[in-house]
Structure 1
């Protein structure tokens, strides 16, 4: 089940990082000679050895623990970006708030497993997560102590972008070898964030606020709008709002569309308008219309491969987040509002640009020292 697309996702992401950025890559059993990559040769499934520029260990519990102990702990002040591009499964105990990232050879790394590792870091260490696996949305619970959805908010800045809600699979694990056909969430997300897609082509149009910087929030909106699959992605701010703002769906979906747009950020507005057009929604009651079509009487059976249904769910979830954010800001709960705005500001960063800037600063210091 280790499809060639997973290897391609890792190769693409590595190509986006400045060469001097410290990194570690865990892949399959950690060995270059093992035929661990599944691919299609005509109509036959075959296996070959990995062709990644680097592999530092196995995607096993010992491999992950070693990475954390010897690499992450050694850089306690460094921002940490964790990218997961494999498979995911629902929690074996049927707790969808504690789903797992599948590990090589069996077993998994659960939300609470990762929460325990992150707790070992200083509170000031920011963490960004990008997770492309099925059922990955439950990892947004890393916002909370112990990874539990009813826990207190963690102090650190944790932001995450996930390919699927906690109860849905995700696309992107294919043995097809033509990367032009890859339509997974992280490919769109990183293409928008970096400005270069996995085929090396320039990507424009994601700087929705026109400030000359594409933030992760804008890359997320770009993926919501452009990814033509059954994925329903999730951001940490979505989970924050649903935890702390209690507003029934029937009230939320009764909000006139023009008000939702007026409360939206430029990125949210672009995604809402694009999804609305794709779905053929019109008028002030389009939130309710989309909701009734998806959940009301006569709604079709649940089909994770139905792209139109996925687009409706993206539209409904995004509109709901906009309304809940507005409700929170009017609530007068100062501490909660400040924490939400801090989360939104962290989601608007671009870690790739920051890494390049840090790399340039280090080179400038080296040049100055040499000139002395």
Structure 2
């Protein structure tokens, strides 16, 4: 008999949310003024959780074929909160995810995919017609789509996964949509689901608690202010508490205080530049147009880990994004202005002595990008670069180039803070770091 458990989303009040990616200004107040108690207004349909009722248009349960082939469950949520910011790029991200699954040997239907309004037949996807240049709307066309991207479906799938996919040791969660900035507490930002229902970091962390404690959860989230979700590794999603008993890690398009890129109504995928595109290109070896990309197997162990795909994206993605992972957020939280000052004044080559292969790749590529001397410190290189610019050299004249410099700073901080953490020989901190890093170095490949 299936036990039916009612889950309630709880968390801080979002009275000061800034919403990213919405045309116009009225939408911000409409979303931001609603308290958490209003975020989920419709009850979960537990007849659909049982997946045996003829009244259900969606089955959350996996097929026997899926159970036989999977060690990882895949859960994907995407789309805007309403038609006016439900861009076609978000739909195409889900289609690219399915192609990535196929490239790595999985059947696309093995992923539980929920997008915007789901299968109700309404034209909600905004796009620019390539013929006449006008804005139009279309119906979602995603094979194997399970339903709408709503909090109810998120709760229901997680409740079902505990039983339907009990043998699967891992869960990979992918979100591609819009995010909100909580101005009162950027450690508890939110992802925006359909009907403009916000799910915060703390709510998401608590929802995952219903899964078995021995299940590993990896998240890849590509929305504005997504770095805040690095806090889902802690109990209640609170970075002031200890790590969750459940093993969790994640990768995020940008830091918690910055908007991200990639939500466009343009149809041509060859022009897309965003974290999702680069991450899955690194993971699968194929970009979203099907062209091969250089291997991201930096440690040469025969498979590409999540951490290596993340490293690939840091170099490949020519945007203003500042990608960050859970271990990197954990390390940067323990840095200080004084420590960063000291790090930037050490020779880059010295810092690289303790770097992992994927970290070395990022630093080497970004050092070459700016023609820096690795035997000099970051600060010395930047000073020399400024002198060259004053003498007629090539200036850093774009926000994307500035972002590459910031990514280099972040990578040097990550490497140095990990070395300092291990040198301090605090057993608990080292165990926490090892646990997060180990999760990030796993992959879809068994």
TM norm. shorter chain > 0.5: yes
Match of 2:370 among 279, 285, 293: 279
* Residue correspondence of structure 1 range 101-180 to structure 2 within 5 A: 101-180=191-270
User: Which one is further off, 128-137 or 330-339?
Assistant: 330-339
Deviation at 1:30, TM superposition (A): 1.4
Deviation at 1:285, TM superposition (A): 3.8
Partner of 1:190: 280
Q: Alignment partner of 2:322: what SS?
A: coil
1:291 to 1:101, Cα distance in 2 relative to 1, 3 A:
farther
Kindly provide the CA deviation profile for residues 16-49 of structure 1, in whole angstroms up to 9, marking residues without a partner as x. Answer: 2211774311111112511111111143111111
**Residues 246-271 of structure 1, C-alpha deviations (whole Å, 9 max, x = no match):** 66221222222111121111111111
CA deviation string 1:218-263 (max 9, x = no partner): 1111100111111100011112213446662212222221111211
Instruction: Please list every run of 5 or more consecutive structure 1 residues that lacks an aligned counterpart in the other structure.
Output: 295-304, 355-372
C-alpha distance 73-249 of structure 1, shift in aligned 2 (>3 A)? farther
Q: Stretches of 4+ moved more than 6 A in 1? A: 290-294
1:220 aligned residue: 310
Which residue is equivalent to 2:19? none
The offset of 1:72, in angstroms, is 4.9
Aligned residues of 1:32 and 1:50 also touching (Cα < 8 A): no
Partner of 1:302: none
Distance change in 2, residues 1:85/1:73 (3 Å): farther
Matches of 2:384 and 2:232 in 1, distance apart? 32
Counterpart for residue 412 of structure 2: 319
Structure 2: segments with no counterpart, 5+ residues: 1-84, 386-397
Q: Which has the higher strand share?
A: 2
Matched with 2:24 is none
* TM-score, L = length of structure 2: 0.73
Q: Which residue of 1 aligns with 2:358?
A: 267
Q: Give distance in 2, aligned partners of 1:329 and 1:193.
A: 29
Shift of residue 141, structure 1, vs aligned partner: 0.3
The worse-fitting range, judged by mean Cα deviation, of 134-143 and 284-293 is: 284-293
Contact 1:162–1:234, Cα closer than 8 Å, also in 2:
yes
Q: Structure 1, residues 299-325: CA drift from partner, whole Å, max 9, x if none?
A: xxxxxx710111011100011000001
1:166 positional shift: 0.2
| C-alpha contact (below 8 Å) 2:117/2:194 kept by paired residues | yes
For the residue of structure 2 that corresponds to 1:108, the secondary structure is: strand
1:289 shift after superposition? 4.6
Secondary structure, aligned partner of 1:259: helix
Matched, 1:96 2:96: no
The aligned runs of 1:24-63 (5 Å cut-off) are 24-42=112-130, 43-63=133-153
Distance 1:97-1:127 versus aligned 2 partners, 3 A rule: same
Instruction: Report SS of the residue matched to 2:111.
Output: coil
> Residue by residue, what CA displacement relative to the aligned partner does 1:95-119 show, whole Å, maximum 9, x if unpaired?
1111111111213111011011111
- Going from structure 1 to structure 2, the CA distance change for 1:21 and 1:309 (only over 3 Å counts) comes to same
3-state secondary structure, aligned to 1:26 = strand
Deviation for aligned residue 1:75:
2.7
Give the length in aligned residue pairs.
Answer: 343
Deviation, 1:280, is: 3.3
Separation in 2 of the partners of 1:263 and 1:217?
16
1:334 correspondence with 2:427: yes
Contact 1:245 1:327 in 2 (8 A): no
RMSD, aligned CA: 2.2
Q: Secondary structure at the match of 1:248?
A: helix
Q: Distance in 1 between matches of 2:368 and 2:294?
A: 20
Give the distance between the partners of 1:58 and 1:205, measured in 2 at CA: 35
Match of 2:325 in 1: 235
Is 2:443 the counterpart of 1:350? yes
In structure 2, how many angstroms separate the alpha carbons of the residues matched to 1:13 and 1:315? 28
In 2, are the aligned partners of 1:77 and 1:125 still within 8 Å (CA)? no
